Structures are given as structure tokens and as C-alpha cells.
Chain A
């Protein structure tokens, strides 16, 4: 399996040089402070279509801050986030609020650690999945419901739960519902902040499996924040290690994990091996 991963990363590395397309997302020197406190500093990287980028690091290292800046939820103090749109790489900060909202509910998706932050708890499962469709102009009840049923199936939620509210669901089901709700519009780029964070280990494994299947099937590009190296091994082609707001190491996942260069990464890998 780990061979498969590096092959996938390798072939993507190739297409980078040979293919006609450029990166999907290009991040240039993104920096964000909270007053005097550093959130993240001078982060740059390119994300290629179909690539999964993992971001790891200890608590407070700036992972969520960076993800917030990339996904347009936080305004960076410096740097740019460029996204591949009709007219080529476009500065997302320069988009109007309307265009940014459209992007966020069509091409982009954000999966929160706490499903309550990503779901409407007072709306049925079907309504939650249908919302992005209705937000982009769908006005045929039968088709919206059909799409919701299809997506509930894909995240392994029984069809007869379609009219139940998420508050009646377990944590794992809520997280799967959140994933269905964000993927229903067929986004190209998905941001995930600790998507398996609050879940039991066995529930985590099932969710990861599901995510991996969906990522492959839909050819999603993903930026996933986690402090779980097992998640990274399973999902990420490339890995970025953060400490104190800075990226201290990045590269192909297997390379970084099997041959860590930076002292902090070495510590991170060693502590997991011991555990």
C-alpha cells in the first residue's frame, strides 16, 4: 500500500513537468498574525490536481490558521493564494464576496473537525445534503432528493434516515453526513481540518477508508490537517510539517516519514513509532 502511494505521488510529480495543466492552487508566502502572536509565517507551496497534501504539527503550530487562510476564511497579512479558474490562476483575495461564496459552494468544500460547525443541526439529513444544490439554483424537489439519497448511500447512511435531523446521529454518522453535504456539488478542492479528530479509533478507521475511496473515485485534490501520522500515511501524497507557525519540512509523504530530515520531524516520527 505504501508503494502504491509513492507511485501515485511519483506519477503526479511527472505530470507536473509533462502535463499541459499547471497547479490547482498556488500558495505564495502566506503569513498571518493574531496581534503580536504568530499564526503562520511565509508558507509557500503548489497543489496539483488530484493531489492530497497533509499538514501535520503539534497543537498551536499554525495548521488551522494556514487552512483558514487558504480557504478564504481568514485574510492573510501577507502573501497570496492563487486558484486555477477559467482565466487561469486567480488571486482569491481579489474575488468579490459573491464570487468567493460561489467558489466555496461549488468548486471548494470545507470539512470541519466538529460536524456541528459544518451541518445545520435543525435541518434534516436530506436538507443538509441538498443545501449546496439549492444554493446553486436547483429547484426540482425530486432531483434534489434523489441526489441526497445517492450521497447518503455513498457515505453509508441508510436511506430511511434521510428525514432525520443530524442531532439524532452518532458522531461518525454526523461526520459522514458533513462529507456528503460538502461533496454533493462535485468540488475539485477539499479542505479538511482534523476530520477524524473527535471520533473513536474504530469509527476513525471506517471514515478514513471511506474518504480514501471518495478521493480516488472523484479525483479530489485535498489539503488535510491532522496530527495523526496514520491518517497521513493512508491519505496524503505529500506532507508538510509545521512547527511554531513555520513549515520545517515538506516532501513526498513516504520520504518525509521514512527519512525525516528536520529534528522536529524526527521527534514526531520517533514518538509515533514508540507509541
Chain B
């Protein structure tokens, strides 16, 4: 590991990223531009999150990396190995044991604490992007709190599908001011954005960092007569029997058999270790 500076990035770069993080924490939900560096992995592999994690880690930290809730996907494994190699930090798969968690597409089921930092990998930080392609215009809209277009999008959803069909990257308003994209987490996770942990969002290709300080009020946008509904399919996990966790549908055999299991693998394993059983659990 002595081939690299601690956590790969040089100290001036880390300082620059920390400044962006601090500014982001001071203005919840505001997208702070930063000079994103080339990382030894392609965009789309979480280079924004990796840079934020690199600027956040200390030698005493314990790192957990998840992708869609799982610790063992290629993306999660390679980022975890990267930091083992360039920072030499301890790693874990247990949410409760981690001090820094880098995530793609999920918030862990196990409630976070005030000692933890959750780092999100963000592909597209701008919630208005699909409605207004001009960056100059979207910045102006944020500056003027001109968010009517977000509701036009939700209106279109209801008009077409009878309900708000947006189920990922569901837009939310931070501290009553900036509308933000919570990254492609399921809307089921939106209520967890009001958290005792520090939450940092990094977009590498788009060169933006934004943040939520602990206990920031985060409201998912909705209509008075179509209130935000974070609910998910009414199945219990087939492995651990959990009813309150977010589930993935997995195909289990060649005959097209399916089952629903926790997307958060650590949470599911923890419940099974504690004796909880679902319908498909091996005895």
C-alpha cells in the first residue's frame, strides 16, 4: 500500500473534495461542483462515490460497500478491494460495524447511527434533467426555487398510470429548500433519508457532490390528494420472513420459479442467524 497516498487520492485533491462536502453539508441538497479526478475504474462504477469515500476515510475507519443491497456483487467487491489495497482500512459486511458505508441503489435496512457516514454513488445528480435539458436553466430554477416542473412530471405520472408511478430516484426536497435526486434508491428507502447518519452523494462524471446533514427534513414530493406512498409489494422475505424490508424478486430454477428475498443481504443473514425463518429457508 505504500505505493499510494492513503486512500489513493493526493492530499490537495482530498482537501478540495472535503471543501465541497462541507459546502454541501452547509446547504442541504445543493449540488456543489467539484473537479472530479480520473479513478482507476470506469464511470458508472461509482467514481463519484469512491472519491467522496476516499476523502472521508481515516485509517481507523471500517468500510462496508454495497451494490443493490448486496456486499458480494462485482461492483461492491472491487470497490471494497480497492480501498483495502490503497487505504488498508478494515472492511465489514455488517452494517452495524461499519463507520463508512458506500452504497449503490439502497439504504441499509439496519437503522444507521450518528457515528456513521453513508456515501451514495450517483449517476445523474440533477432531478430536473429529464424535464429541462439546459444546465444553465436548471441552475436558475434551483436558485429561484422554481420547481413547478417537478410537479408536472408527477402530474403526467398520475394522468397516465392513475398513480405516481415513479418508483426509483423519487425526488425529494431537503430542509424545505433544494429539490434533490436521492440517487436511484427505491422510493421505499426515501423515508430513511431522514437519518442520524451523515449522507453524502457523489456524481463522478457529472462532477457534483451534495449532502444531507444528520436529521435533515427530507420530504418526498407529492400532491395533496395523491400523497407519497413508499410501500412495496406485500410479500415476506422467503428466506428470513421479514415483512418490513425491501425485496428483490429472484428466479430460483429453470422452470421459472420465483421467490422474494431481502435485497439487503447483511440484514437477511443477520435475521436468519437470530433464528428467523421464511417459507423457503433451508432448515
Contacts and interface: CB of A to CB of B under 8 A. Distances in A.
B77 to A, nearest CB: 40
A141 B149 CA distance: 14
A141 B226 contact: yes
Interface string B128-146: 0000000000001000101
Contacts of A142: 225
B159 interface: yes
B152 A163 contact: no
A160 interface: no
Contacts of A62: none
Interface string A119-153: 01001101100111011101111101100000000
Contacts, number: 54
A144 B148 CA distance: 12
Nearest to B132: A120
Contacts of B140: 97
A188 B81 CA distance: 64
B226 A135 contact: no
Contact of B149 (A131, A136, A140): A131
A73 to B, nearest CB: 14
A134 B151 CA distance: 6
A97 B156 CA distance: 28
Contact of A140 (B148, B156, B225): B225
B271 to A, nearest CB: 39
Contact of B223 (A120, A126, A141, A162): A141
A98 B145 CA distance: 9
Contact of B155 (A97, A101, A132, A134): A134
Interface residues on B, range: 10 to 19
B144 A124 contact: no
Given A97-B140, A140-B225, A135 B146 contact: yes
Contact of A139 (B146, B159, B223): B223
A163 B223 CA distance: 18
Given A134-B151, A136-B148, A163 B224 contact: no
A101 B152 contact: no
Interface string B145-165: 010110110011011100000
Interface in B79-114: none
A135 to B, nearest CB: 3
Contact of A134 (B152, B158, B160): B152
Contacts of A134: 148-149, 151-152, 155
A79 B148 CA distance: 33
Interface in B12-26: none
Contact of A123 (B144, B156, B225): B156
A141 B144 contact: no
B146 A141 contact: no
Given A134-B155, A163-B160, A141 B225 contact: yes
A92 to B, nearest CB: 17
A135 B156 contact: no
B224 A127 contact: no
B159 A127 contact: yes
Interface in B39-78: none
Contact of B144 (A97, A145, A162, A163): A97
Interface of B: 140, 144, 146, 148-149, 151-152, 155-156, 158-160, 222-226
Interface of A: 97-98, 101, 120, 123-124, 126-127, 130-132, 134-136, 138-142, 144-145, 162-163
20 contacts: A98-B144, A101-B146, A120-B152, A124-B156, A126-B159, A127-B152, A127-B155, A131-B148, A131-B149, A131-B152, A135-B148, A138-B151, A139-B224, A140-B225, A141-B158, A141-B224, A142-B225, A144-B155, A163-B159, A163-B160
